[in-house]
Structure 1
Amino acid sequence: MKTQKYYFTTSCCLFFSALFCFSFVAYKKYDDFISEQKRYKKVRQAYQEKEDYLTNKLKQKNLSLQNINILMVAYKDEEELEMYVKAKSDKSYQKFLTYDICRSSGSLGAKNQQGDYQVPEGFYYINHFNPMSSYFLSLGISYPNQADKKRNPTRTTKDLGGAIYLHGSCVTIGCIPITDEWIKEVYVLAVQARANGQTKIPIYVFPFRFTEKNKDTFYPKNQKLVRFWDNIKIGYEKFEKNKQKLSFQIDAKGNYIFD
């Protein structure tokens, strides 16, 4: 009996020790990413100006900066960026804030080549935090994705272009600018989500909200885009219905196949 009791006690010690170590490592990773970002003056400025405001806004939804995931949706024609938030353990997001996109370039439709000034359309994620951006702060968008590449099989990744960002200021040649004031909020939320373990923050970019009015307005004038738009509309409708991160595959022709 003494041996069994000793074994049980030792096992408990090992279990709680491992749990403590895991918790410490998780906290350290959280703290390290924020600390690394705060090495930069503009990130510190964003936190100084926006942390309390965001904390209070999130509290109204029973959320905190220490436990959020985020998801963004941009609409090119409406020139709006919607921010959605949820607790890490929740499945569904809820709308949090809406920001004006202050300038646009190109036209409606996908981005297919370098130098076309187009803002991409499709389903992406944030792939770069740039605290030293020329446009105050910026977040990289993962264009070109596999759908973009497969829709353009004769073009190399270089031909398709890149360096598409969500950023401050109010200039663009294919990016999404929301002014210095609003990028501070978005950047802080993104840093917190990344520190909370969200390694791929979704950003979905649509030509417009797929209402019947917009379809009647834009479809007849853009017949070559209808097939592409009908494909991404499926994702739009799924997100509108469930407010959950989309799960999809990409077929050989670059179509999104939603789960």
Structure 2
Amino acid sequence: MTRLIKYAFLLSTAFALAACNETLEDIAPKAERQLPARVVQTMKAKGMSKTSPVMMRIFKEEGKLEVWKAKTNGRYDIIASYDICKWSGQLGPKFTEGDRQAPEGFYTVRPGQMNPKSSYYLAFNIGFPNAYDQANGRTGKHLMVHGACSSAGCYSMTDEQISEIYAFARDSFKGGQREFQVQAFPFRMTAENMARYRSDPNYDFWKMLKEGYDHFELTKIPPKVDVCGKRYVFNREAADGERLSPTAACPPMSQPESLLTAYRQYQAQYDIAFSKALKAQSTATRSETIAGHEEARLVADWSKRRARGEKVSRLPPNIPSPTAVAEAPQPASTPAVAATASAYTAEPASRLQNALEAVAGQPEQQQPAESTAAAVAPVPAEGAVPSPTPRPDTSAERTASVPAPATGGQAPSLRRRIQNIFSR
């Protein structure tokens, strides 16, 4: 009897210790967790079934991952939107293995790419490099959407978010969907955003992606995506059913007439909005330039009068005086600031030259290594930027420090700011 009591005690102790180390996942596997009741109710209200087809869209600049599902009429509607926890690199496509850049483009996910045992909670491989990437010599592997909020070239979500996203994909496969599309964009491809990035080296690449973006906006059906001539082509059929080659020239192709007509009308409206956006941005730039010139004139005049010993009033609070700038404690990494301030006191004709000489040879402020691109590869056919400098391989299933997401370009260099202020 004593022995039985001892065994019972040891067994109960073992269960207690296990309870400290085990989680609910040991009873209900994380990969089989069901969608919350609120989501199921929303799907029902929108005419979607739990197992209807799914697709996803990613927007880097906005930091969003959207989940769309097919309704009974065949069109897709958004069912959920999640804030991306982390993504690495900057706006623009991925070029090389180890560049820590999150991809952009149109990707396909099949059941074999789902990873229920990921060390990053749950994950699925988005399928990089796809046919377009391979045709353009782009390399990389293990590019995922996963949990754990840690990214080295992937799109990382919180564990709670990836649990739902994974469930959407899992249920669609259970319903018979063989693959789903992931569309990854730098930003929402509106006329305003495209105008804002019209000078970006990636602009031609983004214009190509925008055609697929527009087709989905028009039809609310994931576009048919092919690659020929090292370019994406959308919703096109080759004559006589000819098979497209990613690297060979595109053969004659056609589109459904109804889609072609709708797209032309859509593009006409877009062109008008794009022209208005360009004009608005040009007006804003001119206003900023004029304001900069006026500020420089006021500072120069104030400095000369003060140097002659005249009694001068304070400058407006939004314009720091050269004395205040020069006397303020400066970080060791920006020695050019004080020299630039002294250039304000020079005569107008020599201010620009003195200012440029003051910063000559000074290192410009650098962005974090993960968000700095350097050209090392030939320019792809579509006109995208060359490859960033390769870094050591850091796949999604490795721990890595992650920079803050890019938010629309780097700050202008000190030299460029000076040129903008003093140019006539």
Matching of residue 74 in structure 1 with residue 53 in structure 2: no
5 Å-filtered alignment, 1:217-228, equals 217-220=196-199, 222-223=200-201, 225-228=202-205
5 Å-filtered alignment, 1:158-169, equals 160-169=139-148
Cα distance in structure 1, aligned partners of 2:229 and 2:134 = 10
Asked if structure 2 preserves the Cα contact closer than 8 Å seen for 1:136 and 1:168, the reply is: yes
Partner of 1:120: 103
Partner of 1:193: 172
By how many angstroms is 1:139 displaced?
1.3
Cα distance in structure 1, aligned partners of 2:167 and 2:84 = 18
- Could you give the per-residue CA deviations for residues 56-100 of structure 1, whole angstroms, max 9, x where no partner exists? 2211213221x411110001111101111114x643101111111
Cα distance in structure 2, aligned partners of 1:189 and 1:93 = 14
* Change over 3 Å in CA distance of 1:257–1:93 after alignment to 2: closer
5 Å-filtered alignment, 1:10-25, equals none
Partner of 2:82: 99
Cα distance in structure 1, aligned partners of 2:58 and 2:208 = 17
Q: What's the TM-score, normalizing by structure 1? A: 0.75
- Could you give the per-residue CA deviations for residues 157-210 of structure 1, whole angstroms, max 9, x where no partner exists? xxx011111111211011111211111111111111011111111110011111
RMSD of the TM alignment (CA)? 1.9
Amino acid of the structure 2 residue aligned with 1:168: G
Cα distance in structure 2, aligned partners of 1:226 and 1:169 = 32
Cα distance in structure 1, aligned partners of 2:86 and 2:196 = 21
Cα distance in structure 1, aligned partners of 2:232 and 2:48 = 36
Unaligned runs of 5+ in 2: 1-25, 237-424
Aligned partner (choices 57, 63, 84) of residue 68 of structure 2: 84
Cα distance in structure 1, aligned partners of 2:29 and 2:171 = 17
Unaligned runs of 5+ in 1: 1-37
Aligned partner (choices 131, 143, 146) of residue 146 of structure 1: 131
By how many angstroms is 1:136 displaced?
1.0
Give the count of matched residue pairs. Answer: 209
By how many angstroms is 1:256 displaced?
2.9
Asked if structure 2 preserves the Cα contact closer than 8 Å seen for 1:251 and 1:257, the reply is: no
Partner of 2:48: 63
Asked if structure 2 preserves the Cα contact closer than 8 Å seen for 1:126 and 1:139, the reply is: yes
Partner of 1:233: 210
Cα distance in structure 1, aligned partners of 2:31 and 2:208 = 38
Cα distance in structure 1, aligned partners of 2:104 and 2:43 = 29
Amino acid of the structure 2 residue aligned with 1:41: P
Aligned partner (choices 7, 10, 30) of residue 42 of structure 1: 30
- Could you give the per-residue CA deviations for residues 195-244 of structure 1, whole angstroms, max 9, x where no partner exists? 11111111100111111221222231x22x12211111100111111110
Amino acid of the structure 1 residue aligned with 2:147: G
SS in 1 for 2:135: helix
Aligned partner (choices 209, 213, 223) of residue 188 of structure 2: 209
Cα distance in structure 2, aligned partners of 1:257 and 1:150 = 17
Amino acid of the structure 2 residue aligned with 1:244: I
By how many angstroms is 1:40 displaced?
7.2
- Identity among equivalent positions (%) equals 33
Asked if structure 2 preserves the Cα contact closer than 8 Å seen for 1:166 and 1:175, the reply is: yes
SS in 2 for 1:190: helix
Cα distance in structure 1, aligned partners of 2:37 and 2:189 = 35
Cα distance in structure 1, aligned partners of 2:144 and 2:121 = 12
By how many angstroms is 1:108 displaced?
1.1
Amino acid of the structure 2 residue aligned with 1:100: D
Asked if structure 1 preserves the Cα contact closer than 8 Å seen for 2:88 and 2:102, the reply is: yes
Structure that is richer in strand per residue = 1
Partner of 1:176: 155
Amino acid of the structure 2 residue aligned with 1:80: K
Asked if structure 1 preserves the Cα contact closer than 8 Å seen for 2:69 and 2:76, the reply is: yes
Cα distance in structure 2, aligned partners of 1:175 and 1:106 = 9
Amino acid of the structure 1 residue aligned with 2:54: I
- Structure having the higher Rg: 2
Amino acid of the structure 1 residue aligned with 2:59: Y
Amino acid of the structure 2 residue aligned with 1:219: R
Amino acid of the structure 2 residue aligned with 1:217: R
Asked if structure 1 preserves the Cα contact closer than 8 Å seen for 2:223 and 2:234, the reply is: no
